[in-house]
Chain A
Amino acid sequence: MAWRIVVGLKDGVKDARGERVRREIKEHLGYDLERVQTLDVYTVDAELSDSEVEQAAAGPFSDPVIQEAAINRPLASGFDILVEVGFRPGVTDNTGRTAKEAIQYITGRRFSADEGVYTSTQYLLTGLKDKEVAEKIAKDFLANGLIQRWTILSADELDPKTGVPVTVPKVVSDSTPTVNSIDLNVSDEQLLDISRKGMLALSLEEMQKIQQHIADPQVVAIREKVGLGAELTDVEIEALAQTWSEHCKHKIFSAKIEYEDENGNKETIDSLFKTYIVGATRDIREAMGDDDFCLSVFKDNAGVIEFTDDWSIVFKVETHNSPSALDPYGGALTGIVGVNRDGVGTGMGARLIFNTDVFCFASPFLEKELPPRLLHPRRIFEGVVEGVEHGGNKSGIPTVNGSIVFDERFAGKPLVYCGTASIMPRMLNGKPCHEKKVQVGDHIVMCGGRIGKDGIHGATFSSEELHEGSPVTAVQIGDPITQRKMFDFLIIARDRGLYSSFTDNGAGGLSSSIGEMAEDTGGFEMHLDRAPLKYSGLQPWEILISEAQERMSLAVPPENLDAFIQLAKDMDVEATDLGNFTDSGYFHCLYEGKTVSYLSMEFLHEGVPQMVIPAKWQLRNLSEPELAAPQDLNVELQKLLGRLNICSKESVVRRYDHEVQAGTVIKPLVGVANDGPSDAAVFRPMLDSFAGVVVSHGICPNYSDIDTYHMMACAIDEGLRNYVAVGGNIDHVAGLDNFCWCDPVKSEKTPDGEYKAAQLVRANKALYDYCVAFGVPLISGKDSMKNDYQIGDTKISIPPTVLFSVIGKMADARKAVSMDVKRPDDLVYLLGDTHNELGGSEYYEEKGALGANVPKVDAASALLRYRTLNKAQDEGLIASCHDLSDGGLAVALAEKAFAGGYGIKVSLNRVAADAGMREDQILFSESQSRLLVTVHPENQAAFEALFKGQSCQHLGKVTIQPELLVSGEKDKILISTPIDLLKEAWQAPLREM
């Protein structure tokens, strides 16, 4: 039978969670409730005795000091409306899993496969009578209908004896596993129909390619030998669809692009990826020669570079945009724990050291009516932040660097970038740790979580297919603890040399992980029926492509299999032998001994036809705005400081543990009150060494509206100048590109595809040009190419956005520099020239203008400046250093001053600016490669000597008077504002988020 255990706080104990929910209902939806109380509900569906249930309720389920528990009766009282929110069947319920384990420890008996614990939360709303409003609160705030269900009862509807009726959200399935074959000997129209209905996302050309393959009599003859026929099975077609998906094959980046520039010059680009990304790294590595520090690029789950003589750094950044749009919490959580598996699953395995996160949202204060199915940006903000918080904090990985970019178009699709760094020994058991190879005969072992219908077909689903009793398929919820246990186990297995290769199970599930690993040997044989399932009723093809989380696939040599499985068992991790890697040349799956797939590895991996995409670049007819000279620059500066793209993100940063592992040397928040904005993070991964990993990023989608070439160049420069600002070594740094684009393929739905494709080409050209110019190799990256919203006639496309992440090292983290001014009378210098480059700037946007003069990067002078800065840092000449970015010089001056708790007095006349620039233009221009540093007076001569011949302007000094004082022509005071006021303007907007 099922028991309901309800746990609530005792009288007089503050319900902080309920109070937070009350506040957020008011902020999100505008309903001002009197009170919200919360209760936890455990529905225990298991054979237990009364006393065992009582013990669980009194013990692990409730806290005797602050809580009380009720079994099969309500605890709720003194409310108007009760809303109970629980998961739909099949949705990952981490708390339910922990509760089940807790009962098992008490009874000493394991639950049977049918038994389980399901959790839900009761919200008791007071000050609300209208059930329709409660429904809205449930739907729009308390729950997500994709993964959760809810019950609403008014006080008089709650049965005083039994409470809320028992619901057991168990997955019930009576389907028996079957394998269907698909007749592809059909018309083109029917081929497309098969692709559409099966959510295969294969184009006609791709379907035809498969049709031709299976029509080959030689192929059929071989198939017949293993008991298959002239038709593909559903297992095979699903495997092909996964392997050939945009997500796995990056078809747009591999496409042939017919590009035409603004002058009508035409060129054919055979793969953007190979030409510009791989090409840049190849050329840079050649130029570096013996100094090449790259160890593994593009071929593994993450890139690997040298760190110290004994250790290497591994870095990867992923996006998880579509899932986060549907379920912000689960999407972001899955994003971060998913990229963690990439970090761990590189080479023979690495230990995670930190996470980074960058989000692109619409304003949380957006007041417009949103088109159907879009969640309000505030809800996305809150959910995503919480997801990354749980994913990072619970996994014990500090989140050390990130940012949030706001643009209204991100209402159509939020961008959620999750990055992770890890370290591995240079050598493991006598071999380079960043290399791995599956051997013929190795066992296929899957470990970690079990397989369910989670994430089948990614996000290409519609809610209409969800109904009570059917598991949710596309939305996943990560489980950091199951994953942490698996990582603890894997690192021991690695050091004991128990496996020869491994990788994570991400997109495409086993189909992709085993399919890719088997490229080493040229085939495999896998028994799908041996895979452990969360619940029965999965079809063989579902087992193959499920994206259920927290799983890794390994190649374990036969002689180590027993030791591997035993270690897993000891450490409470499930590991299952699914078959063997072979050199048969075939993707061979069986179910209960019967062959269900027999695809040639070569066709699977090389068969996908190359796309051809037209691209045509046109200069947009843009001009600079004619703005009246501002009346009061104090007001302008405060307005800019309060803009969402510039203001403090402290409320978010504090929710991330940025110090666990005790390695964070430059933290995200620095300065006299621990609240100034760091440019980059410095992290010391080995506790007994001062070698530091430096990480930062650049992202500037604002400039894409003018020219994506310069957007890309600026993102690279921004990443690098943040990196050098804290002391990162400019000659030992690598980049990662994460492209998020709107659909660039011309079609009925995308009539402007040629322009969007040209934007993509231009960004890639800049990526090549500037990485080569700076000597920064790319080591890994990812693209997400369909960031559009389209329902009916409404289409929202995100601005083309590239996150350029930067990772490198500094030999001695004790030489790191923070951005806050340190002492009165220190000298303030600006490095780099200021041009009339306000196109796409925050200042213009504040004025409602775009402009035309997008900032351009002069890599040669920037590189010299960055190298010289490194030298000055090494010699201890720099007291503080801050990069100039959004909002330009004025914002950087303000941030440096209030972070340090002192004033700054500077003269604008001394800025090396283009002739004829107005004062507001000099203050707010976003010219690149500029840094603002302070220097102790005793170091002036040495500092100036180092920068002799470079653009280095002595603007003024740090003052004890806590005021930002900027003077212009004839010493006219342009800005004089106390730093407290500036700080307040900067902190206010997102303080309460």
Chain B
Amino acid sequence: MPKQVKAIVIAGNGTNCEREVAFACKLAGADVSDIVHVAELLAGRVKLDDYHFLNLAGGFLDGDDLGSAKAGANRLLHAKIAGSDETIADQIRRFVAAGKLVMGVCNGFQLMVKMGLLPALTGESKQSCSLTFNDGGRFEDRWAWLKVDPESPCVFTRGLDAVYLPVRHGEGKFVTDNKGTLMQLEQQNLAVVKYADADLNPTMVYPDNPNGSEASIAGICDPTGRLFGLMPHPEAYIHRTHHPRWTREDMPEEGMGLWMYQNAVRFIREELLK
């Protein structure tokens, strides 16, 4: 019997999109797609080691009260798993070292960046980028075109050229600590997806670039391409009825966001579990 592809979505403390992310994993072909409350991980009843694909879903961890995902990152870094000296962050590092996949969407992306999981240019978990208040100073829900970097090592965007997805955030402006970091992201093709105009050219112009992100960056990966985070929501476009104009345009049943999950499942099945 072939090995099973197992996805996990962490829920709790203000995570909101766990159900649709788990469904997207399932639809993309994952054999197991579990929603696990963070309390279960902290109690030690569930271990990340038993999965291949870790999903950090959108939401408002702890209300984003200290800045988006800041308190959430603090919990994963410091809270000890019951009966051990290990943190969830330790488990994630082991997960990553085992060649597995992590995708963070929106609040999950913010969490990865603020834990230092992304972009991890030097391989160590030190925060070098951030996501902060949109230039407009407000939360916004709107759809955006993303241009995919075809040269990117990102596992999730293989074969993709452009995707159309909703953004739903107040703190989505991507910034780096210095020009060097930005340069490395660009040179190593880690700036996987960029906000683009109708002609699919990266743009700094609102509303095509909804938040004023540096270099129009909407999502990044680490140098291995197995860790990926983005502000737009791929799990929110997995069927044509999710598209804002499905009543007026002919479009395929499958939504563009599903492609990213399919890529993840394919990678696990064909490369990780081979």
Hey, which bits of chain A sit against chain B, CB under 8 A?
13-14, 16-17, 19-20, 59-61, 63-67, 94-95, 97-99, 101-102, 105-106, 108, 389, 393-396, 479-481, 484-485, 488, 570-572, 653-662, 664-667, 669-672, 674, 684, 687-688, 690, 813-814, 816-818, 820, 822, 880, 900
Q: Are B139 and A393 touching (Cβ within 8 A)?
A: yes
Cβ of B43 within 8 Å of any chain A Cβ, yes or no, is: yes
How long is the Cα–Cα vector from A665 to B242 in the complex, in angstroms? Answer: 6
Q: Are A484 and B236 touching (Cβ within 8 A)?
A: no
Cβ of B204 within 8 Å of any chain A Cβ, yes or no, is: no
Q: Are A660 and B17 touching (Cβ within 8 A)?
A: yes
- List 30 A-B residue pairs with CB atoms under 8 Å apart, sorted by A's residue number: A13-B175, A16-B133, A16-B134, A17-B137, A20-B138, A60-B70, A64-B127, A65-B176, A67-B67, A94-B65, A99-B66, A101-B75, A102-B74, A481-B60, A484-B16, A488-B12, A570-B39, A571-B12, A655-B140, A657-B141, A659-B168, A659-B233, A661-B17, A667-B244, A669-B244, A672-B245, A674-B143, A687-B23, A688-B23, A880-B247
Q: Are A817 and B247 touching (Cβ within 8 A)?
A: yes
For A101, give its contact among B71, B136, B248 (CB under 8 Å): B71
How long is the Cα–Cα vector from A49 to B14 in the complex, in angstroms? Answer: 30
Chain A nearest CB: distance from B151 CB in Å? Answer: 26
Q: Are A60 and B73 touching (Cβ within 8 A)?
A: yes
Cβ of B78 within 8 Å of any chain A Cβ, yes or no, is: yes
- Shortest beta-carbon contacts, A-B, top 5: A396-B16, A20-B137, A662-B20, A98-B65, A65-B130
Chain B nearest CB: distance from A633 CB in Å? Answer: 29
* A95: chain B residues within 8 A (beta carbon): 63, 65-66
Q: Are A674 and B59 touching (Cβ within 8 A)?
A: no
* B74: chain A residues within 8 A (beta carbon): 59-60, 102, 105-106
Cβ of B91 within 8 Å of any chain A Cβ, yes or no, is: no
How long is the Cα–Cα vector from A17 to B73 in the complex, in angstroms? Answer: 23
Chain A nearest CB: distance from B209 CB in Å? Answer: 14
* A481: chain B residues within 8 A (beta carbon): 13-14, 60, 62-63, 65
For B39, give its contact among A98, A393, A571, A666 (CB under 8 Å): A571
Binary contact readout B201-220 vs A (1 if CB under 8 angstroms, 0 otherwise) = 00000000000100000000
Q: Are A105 and B75 touching (Cβ within 8 A)?
A: yes
How long is the Cα–Cα vector from A65 to B130 in the complex, in angstroms? Answer: 6
Task: Assess A484 versus B14: contact at CB under 8 Å? Given A60-B74, A393-B60, A674-B142.
Answer: yes
Cβ of B260 within 8 Å of any chain A Cβ, yes or no, is: no
How long is the Cα–Cα vector from A19 to B137 in the complex, in angstroms? Answer: 8
7 more A-B residue pairs beyond the given contacts A488-B12, A570-B43, A674-B143, with a C-beta to C-beta distance below 8 A: A16-B132, A17-B133, A659-B166, A659-B233, A659-B242, A670-B245, A687-B20
Q: Are A98 and B62 touching (Cβ within 8 A)?
A: yes
Cβ of B37 within 8 Å of any chain A Cβ, yes or no, is: yes
Cβ of B11 within 8 Å of any chain A Cβ, yes or no, is: yes
Q: Are A571 and B20 touching (Cβ within 8 A)?
A: no
* B65: chain A residues within 8 A (beta carbon): 94-95, 97-99, 481
Nearest residue (CB) in A for B59 is A396
Chain A nearest CB: distance from B143 CB in Å? Answer: 6
Chain A nearest CB: distance from B10 CB in Å? Answer: 12
Nearest residue (CB) in A for B14 is A481
* B60: chain A residues within 8 A (beta carbon): 393-394, 396, 480-481
Chain B nearest CB: distance from A447 CB in Å? Answer: 15
Using a CB-CB cutoff of 8 Å, which residues 207-266 of chain B contact chain A? 212, 233, 235-236, 238, 241-242, 244-248
Cβ of B128 within 8 Å of any chain A Cβ, yes or no, is: yes
How long is the Cα–Cα vector from A382 to B248 in the complex, in angstroms? Answer: 34
Chain A nearest CB: distance from B170 CB in Å? Answer: 8
Cβ of B114 within 8 Å of any chain A Cβ, yes or no, is: yes
Chain B nearest CB: distance from A804 CB in Å? Answer: 26
Cβ of B58 within 8 Å of any chain A Cβ, yes or no, is: yes
Q: Are B11 and A670 touching (Cβ within 8 A)?
A: no
* A672: chain B residues within 8 A (beta carbon): 245, 248
How long is the Cα–Cα vector from A822 to B130 in the complex, in angstroms? Answer: 42
Nearest residue (CB) in A for B248 is A822
How long is the Cα–Cα vector from A97 to B176 in the complex, in angstroms? Answer: 29
How long is the Cα–Cα vector from A59 to B235 in the complex, in angstroms? Answer: 31
Q: Are B66 and A60 touching (Cβ within 8 A)?
A: yes
Q: Are B142 and A654 touching (Cβ within 8 A)?
A: yes
Binary contact readout B137-174 vs A (1 if CB under 8 angstroms, 0 otherwise) = 11111110000000000000000000000101000010
* A480: chain B residues within 8 A (beta carbon): 60, 63
How long is the Cα–Cα vector from A687 to B128 in the complex, in angstroms? Answer: 37
Chain B nearest CB: distance from A482 CB in Å? Answer: 9
Q: Are A60 and B71 touching (Cβ within 8 A)?
A: yes
Q: Are B62 and A101 touching (Cβ within 8 A)?
A: yes
Nearest residue (CB) in B for A98 is B65
Nearest residue (CB) in B for A393 is B139
Cβ of B46 within 8 Å of any chain A Cβ, yes or no, is: no
Cβ of B129 within 8 Å of any chain A Cβ, yes or no, is: yes
How long is the Cα–Cα vector from A669 to B142 in the complex, in angstroms? Answer: 10
Task: Assess A660 versus B168: contact at CB under 8 Å? Given A16-B137, A670-B244.
Answer: yes
Q: Are B71 and A66 touching (Cβ within 8 A)?
A: no
Cβ of B19 within 8 Å of any chain A Cβ, yes or no, is: yes
Cβ of B135 within 8 Å of any chain A Cβ, yes or no, is: yes
Cβ of B269 within 8 Å of any chain A Cβ, yes or no, is: no
For A814, give its contact among B78, B141, B241 (CB under 8 Å): B241
Q: Are B139 and A657 touching (Cβ within 8 A)?
A: yes
* A571: chain B residues within 8 A (beta carbon): 12, 37, 39
Cβ of B272 within 8 Å of any chain A Cβ, yes or no, is: no
Chain A nearest CB: distance from B140 CB in Å? Answer: 5
* A671: chain B residues within 8 A (beta carbon): 245, 248
Chain B nearest CB: distance from A363 CB in Å? Answer: 21
Nearest residue (CB) in A for B246 is A665
Chain A nearest CB: distance from B263 CB in Å? Answer: 19
Cβ of B199 within 8 Å of any chain A Cβ, yes or no, is: no
Q: Are B244 and A684 touching (Cβ within 8 A)?
A: no
Candidate in A61, A488, A660 with the most chain B CB atoms within 10 angstroms: A660
* B11: chain A residues within 8 A (beta carbon): 488
Nearest residue (CB) in A for B177 is A65
Q: Are A65 and B136 touching (Cβ within 8 A)?
A: no
Q: Are B19 and A655 touching (Cβ within 8 A)?
A: no
* B273: chain A residues within 8 A (beta carbon): none
Nearest residue (CB) in A for B132 is A66
* A108: chain B residues within 8 A (beta carbon): 78, 80
